[in-house]
Amino acid sequence: MIITKTEIEGLVIIQPEIFYDSRGHFFESFNIEALRKEGIDFNPVQDNESQSVRGVIRGLHYQLNPHPQAKLVRVVEGKIFDVALDLRKNSETFGKWYGIELDSDSKKQLLIPRGFAHGFSVLSNTATVQYKCDNTYNPAMERGINIMDTEINIDWKIDKNSYIMNNRDMNNPLFKDAEFNF
């Protein structure tokens, strides 16, 4: 595995080594020892999967303390634009977002630490996204930030006329009004 740090502290890209032969391919999608060697403490306890069609935007979701979640995001089928927004008040990158295309061909993954909101847009006809979480889902601690907030100004990499969003995500508070305690 190749682990690459981004400009946002704690946010890393993981590129697994893929082995191809006449049968197809094989790769390790997760190896706790490889992460530990890089000083990354990530112990998943829950796996999630979503499938969406082109134009869907999901997010920006997070859980408050004492139930925050770190996530390791990967695409099983298709292509997405994955976004992590830094909500850590003492961070030099507080309020900044990072985006990366993840797809099923490259197998690239994004490890998002606790203290971030997460969302993605679907760039292919369909996309199946899996993510490992280091804490279980707690509906009482779930929060969100409006994905169309102009203060954050995320370019979701899809035509604004083709956005598909649910009411909850569209009605989440703006960044300046959101509740977070990181």
Q: Please list the active-site residues.
A: 61, 131
Look at residues 50, 54, 53 and name the one whose alpha carbon lies nearest to residue 75: 50
Most distant pair of Cα atoms in the chain: their distance: 54
Total number of residues shown for the chain: 182
